[in-house]
């Protein structure tokens, strides 16, 4: 009988671990199943870009696991029974149970308001794709109305710094775009030197320093 490995969660930790196991273990002796609530791979480390108005790729998990022998179950985990070694899932077909010999629990984390009054009702987070789209819709609405506003980012960790940086860059680009539209000119004409200097200075004032940004690699916690 094959050794059944069930990986709950297909984020960076779950997907990368499942692929590593598939490479190192023989499919003759092992069976790997990944359970995830959505069919797409969410690039959580880039969700701050989504919140700021950029598009980020969301590859299908079937493509991510293609050729690995990994089984994908798109479903939501509702219970884990360690004594019976089963995982209960719910999906469009009604769900069921998955038996396992080894279970990897990699459902990740979510945004927390820590009980701060008003945070749950009025603040945004970028911990998941749906929640990252909420500030994006808010900022897009202000841009369409030509209104400005203040953005307060609470937290100065990597997520907070990168979110503030991306929003600042996006706002600067929108400001320059609106400045150009308000002063139409013949297509063949070049901007006057004084106006070009003003635009350049505006960009320099608002453009953050992104030279320190480097790709980040995460690994499952032991």
pLDDT of amino acid 140: 83
What are the E-state strand segments in 68-154?
71-74, 76-81, 86-90, 96-99, 102-105
Q: What is the end-to-end Cα distance of the chain in Å, rounded? A: 28
Q: What is the pLDDT of residues 89-99, one digit of tens each?
A: 999 888 899 99
Q: How far apart are CA 23 and CA 41, in angstroms?
A: 19
Cα 165 to its chain centre, rounded Å, is 16
SS3 78: strand
Give me the residue spans of the domains in the chain.
Answer: 3-105, 119-206
**What is the predicted pLDDT for the residue at 200?**
56
Residue 168: the pLDDT is 84
Ranges of residues in the chain whose predicted pLDDT is under 70: 147-148, 172-222
pLDDT at 22: 96
CA-to-CA separations, 12 to 46, 122, 217, in angstroms, rounded:
12, 29, 9
Class of the CATH domain delimited by 3-105: alpha beta
Q: Residues 4-33: pLDDT tens digits?
A: 999 999 999 999 999 999 999 999 999 999
């Amino acid at each position: 009988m094959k050794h059944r490995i069930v990986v709950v969660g297909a984020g960076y930790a779950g997907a990368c671990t499942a692929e590593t196991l598939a490479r190192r273990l023989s499919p003759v002796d092992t069976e790997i199943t990944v359970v995830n609530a959505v069919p797409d791979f969410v690039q959580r480390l880039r969700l701050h870009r989504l919140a700021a108005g950029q598009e980020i790729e969301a590859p299908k998990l079937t493509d991510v696991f293609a050729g690995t022998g990994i089984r994908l179950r798109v479903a939501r985990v509702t219970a884990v029974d360690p004594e019976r070694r089963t995982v209960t899932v719910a999906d469009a077909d009604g769900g069921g149970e998955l038996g396992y010999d080894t279970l990897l629990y990699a459902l990740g984390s979510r945004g927390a308001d820590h009980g701060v009054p008003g945070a749950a009702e009025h603040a945004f987070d970028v911990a998941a794709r749906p929640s990252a789209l909420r500030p994006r819709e808010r900022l897009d609405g202000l841009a369409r109305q030509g209104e400005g506003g203040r953005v307060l980012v609470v937290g100065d960790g990597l997520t907070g710094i990168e979110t503030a940086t991306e929003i600042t860059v996006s706002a600067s680009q929108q400001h320059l775009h609106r400045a150009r539209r308000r002063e139409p000119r013949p297509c063949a004409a070049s901007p006057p030197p004084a106006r070009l200097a003003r635009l350049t200075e505006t960009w320099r004032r608002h453009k953050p320093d992104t030279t320190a940004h480097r790709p980040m690699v995460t690994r499952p916690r032991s």
